[in-house]
Amino acid sequence: MIIVLRLNHRRIRDKRVSTHVGLVSRALGADKIIYTGDDDTGLFNSIKSVVKNWGGAFNAGYASDYKRVIIGYKKKGYLTVHLTMYGLELEKEITKLRKAKNLLIIVGGEKVPADVYELSDLNVSVTNQPHSEIAALALLLDHYYKGNELNLKFKGGKKIKPNPRGKTFY
């Protein structure tokens, strides 16, 4: 199982970024996302409607306390991996991630509490440059799956037929 924990969602400011984090998690092979911060019905409805229309069994949940989530999954044997530009290089840590059967990937928001760096088993960077937690998550999942996640099939839902010039469905 791969679970993504998105920290400190703010209903207005993070609406689109948090939605992207959720949809990237689903499209690239995570099983579930848990949001902390604002409990945002609109955000859950966006994710649910994508799952309904496009298939698969992806789940979105809410938790008020990130510490309990991280500690809880550690107790269940998950490797907890915090994405931060200050962390160790992804490529040097990727085999540890692949060896773990179950991953909790922690994706920060604007300000990450200091204890997240301590609670996580690993702090991992996708470049040490400022860019985007959405991109960092996508690259982590892609490297973890060695690109195979790009061919994931989702049961039920609409199916696009790749088209050189327009929009077609199977």
Which positions from 131 through 170 interact with a second copy, judged by CB under 8 A? Answer: 131-132, 134-135, 137-139, 142-143, 147, 149-150, 152, 154, 159-160, 162-168
User: Quick one: which of 109, 167, 168, 160 has its CA closest to 133?
Assistant: 109
* Total Cβ atoms within 10 A of residue 27: 18
Q: What share of the chain is helix, strand, coil (3-state, %, to 5)?
A: 40, 25, 35
User: Quick one: which of 115, 92, 95, 116 has its CA closest to 105?
Assistant: 116
Q: Which of 41, 45, 68, 91 binds a second copy (CB under 8 A)?
A: 91
Which positions from 30 through 89 interact with a second copy, judged by CB under 8 A? Answer: 50, 54, 85-89
Q: Cβ 89 to a second copy, closest distance in Å?
A: 6
- Tell me the backbone φ, ψ of residue 59, rounded to 5 degrees: -125, 145
Q: Which stretch binds a second copy (CB under 8 A): 31-39, 63-71, 97-105, 111-119?
A: 111-119
98 lines the binding site for a second copy (CB under 8 A): no
| Token reading at 159 | 């199916």
User: Quick one: which of 77, 37, 28 has its CA closest to 56?
Assistant: 28
Q: Which of 2, 24, 81, 104 binds a second copy (CB under 8 A)?
A: 24
Binding site for a second copy (CB under 8 A): 13-14, 16-17, 20, 23-24, 26-28, 50, 54, 85-91, 114, 117-118, 122-123, 125-132, 134-135, 137-139, 142-143, 147, 149-150, 152, 154, 159-160, 162-168
